[in-house]
Amino acid sequence: MTRPTARVLALLEILQGGGTHTAVALAGRLGVDERTVRRYAEHLLDLDVPVEAVRGRYGGFRLGPGFRMPPLMLTDEEALAVLLGLSGGRVTASSGAAAAKVRRVLPKALAARLDALFATADFGAPARSHEETGPQASVMLRLAEATRQRRPAVIVYSDRNGRRSERTLHPYGIVAHAARWYVTGPDSASGELRTFRLDRIVEVHLAQGSFAVPAGFRPADVVRTGLAGTPWRHEVVVAVRGTAEEVRARLPGGLASIEPDPGEGPDWVLVRLRAERLDWLPGLLAGLGRPFLVHEPAQLRDVIRAWADRVAGCAGATTPEEAANRYGP
C-alpha cells in the first residue's frame, strides 16, 4: 500500500470516530499540510464516502450522518485466520484494537460466531501449528457457538487410526494448547469427561437441549491433565547445549520439559517431549540454533539426516523446478 493511500484510509478511520475535525488537527495527525488533507477528503468523496466540509470558526471535516463501512467480505476461514493471527494466543493493546476494527466490518452473523470463539476459548499456550494443518474453521466456530450457548453438539470424530464415530458432546470449553486446539466436556459414548482434538472432528451439528458447566471448572487444566496421561507413539529425549531459559525461549510453550543433563555437563540440558510423528522435529531442533544430541528414539537420527539432505539439496538448486524435483512431492 502506498503512503498516500494509507493516509487516505487513516483519514477515514479518524472520521469514523465521529465529530468534526479541523483541517489543522487532521494535518497534524496525518503528518501532511492542510491542502493535502483537503485532497484526501476529495479522494474519499470520489469513493462515495460522504465527507462533509463544515465552514465557520469551528468547522472542519466530518462524515455524513448514517454512513457505515460496508461489511468486510471474508470467508469464515479467512476471518478466523486474520483474528487468530492478530491475537496469536496473546492479546496485546495493538492486536486487540486491530481485531476490534476487523470485527466491526464483518457481517453480523460471522462476527457473532467469532466473538463466541474468543469469549469461550482458553489460550493457555499459543496454538502454533508445526505438525499438521489446523481444524476446520466451521468446526471451531460451531463448537464455540455451542460452548457459549450451552447447547449439546453432535460431532463426527476420527481417532488416530482413522476410525470415525458419532457422539454427542457437552462442550464445556475450547483450549489452545501448544500446537493444537482441543474441546473438553462430557461425552455420550463413554459417559465420562473427554478431551477431543479439533483437527480430528470432521463434522459438528448443534443439538436441542442445554447443559450447565460445573462451578469452578477450568477447561485448560482438564486438557493439560488429560494430555499428560495420553499414550504417544514416541518418547523423545534430546540433549541441547544451553541453559534451560535459553532453550525454553525457543520452544512452543508447554511442548516439552527441560531439566539439567548431568551426563553431558553443566552447559547442557535434557529436553523431553512426546510425539505421535517425528517428521516435524528436525525443523524444531534446527530452530533452536544450538548443538544437540538425540538420545531417544534412535530412528529420529535417521529422520534428521534425511531432512538435512533434503534441505541441502534444495539449497543447492538453481531453479524453482530443480528445488521442487529434489524435495519431491
**Is 325 part of any domain?**
no
Query: Whose CA is closest to 53, among 18, 30, 12, 23?
Result: 23
Determine the Cα–Cα distance for residues 220 and 208; give it in Å rounded to an integer: 26
Query: Whose CA is closest to 185, among 208, 158, 211?
Result: 211
The secondary structure element, H or E, covering residue 147 is helix 137-149
**Is 209 part of any domain?**
yes
Based on the fold, state whether residues 168 and 294 are members of the same structural domain: no
Of 189, 223, 257, at which residue does a domain stop?
Answer: 223
Based on the fold, state whether residues 84 and 212 are members of the same structural domain: yes
**Is 306 part of any domain?**
yes
Determine the Cα–Cα distance for residues 282 and 278; give it in Å rounded to an integer: 8
Determine the Cα–Cα distance for residues 135 and 117; give it in Å rounded to an integer: 13
Q: Spell out the residues 6+ positions from residue 259 whose beta carbon is closer than 8 angstroms to its own.
A: 244, 269, 270, 272
**Is 329 part of any domain?**
no
Based on the fold, state whether residues 120 and 214 are members of the same structural domain: yes
Q: Enter the C-alpha cell of residue 183.
A: 474441546
Based on the fold, state whether residues 57 and 82 are members of the same structural domain: no
Are 143 and 174 contacting, i.e. CB atoms less than 8 angstroms apart?
A: yes
Based on the fold, state whether residues 102 and 196 are members of the same structural domain: yes
Determine the Cα–Cα distance for residues 83 and 79; give it in Å rounded to an integer: 6
Q: Spell out the residues 6+ positions from residue 100 whose beta carbon is closer than 8 angstroms to its own.
A: none
* Average pLDDT by stretches of 10, the chain with 329 residues: 70 84 91 91 85 83 75 60 56 56 69 73 51 70 91 92 91 81 88 89 93 90 72 86 89 80 84 85 89 93 91 67 51
User: Any idea of the CA torsion for 281, 282, 287, 291, to the nearest 10 degrees?
Assistant: 110
Based on the fold, state whether residues 217 and 142 are members of the same structural domain: yes
**Is 322 part of any domain?**
no
Q: Enter the C-alpha cell of residue 256.
A: 516439552
| Residue that the C-alpha cell 469452578 belongs to | 216
Based on the fold, state whether residues 285 and 218 are members of the same structural domain: no
Longest CA span, the chain: 81
| Residue that the C-alpha cell 510453550 belongs to | 253
User: Phi and psi dihedrals of 283, rounded to 5?
Assistant: -65, -40
Determine the Cα–Cα distance for residues 327 and 305; give it in Å rounded to an integer: 14
Based on the fold, state whether residues 198 and 275 are members of the same structural domain: no
Based on the fold, state whether residues 200 and 247 are members of the same structural domain: no
Q: What is the CATH number of the domain that holds 7?
A: 1.10.10.10
Based on the fold, state whether residues 10 and 98 are members of the same structural domain: no
Are 222 and 170 contacting, i.e. CB atoms less than 8 angstroms apart?
A: no
CA Rg value for the chain: 26
Report DSSP state, residue 213: P
Determine the Cα–Cα distance for residues 8 and 41; give it in Å rounded to an integer: 8
* Amino acid occupying residue 313: G
Based on the fold, state whether residues 267 and 217 are members of the same structural domain: no
Based on the fold, state whether residues 177 and 310 are members of the same structural domain: no
Determine the Cα–Cα distance for residues 238 and 260; give it in Å rounded to an integer: 12
Per-residue confidence (pLDDT) for residue 45, from 0 to 100:
87
Are 36 and 24 contacting, i.e. CB atoms less than 8 angstroms apart?
A: no
Q: Enter the C-alpha cell of residue 317.
A: 538448486
The secondary structure element, H or E, covering residue 34 is helix 34-46
Determine the Cα–Cα distance for residues 140 and 271; give it in Å rounded to an integer: 32
**Is 324 part of any domain?**
no
Per-residue confidence (pLDDT) for residue 172, from 0 to 100:
94
Of 196, 223, 250, at which residue does a domain stop?
Answer: 223
**Is 326 part of any domain?**
no
**Is 246 part of any domain?**
yes
How many domains are there within the chain? 3
Of 63, 87, 111, at which residue does a domain stop?
Answer: 63
Determine the Cα–Cα distance for residues 278 and 230; give it in Å rounded to an integer: 17
Containing structural domain, residue 52: 3-63
Q: What is the CATH number of the domain that holds 256?
A: 3.30.70
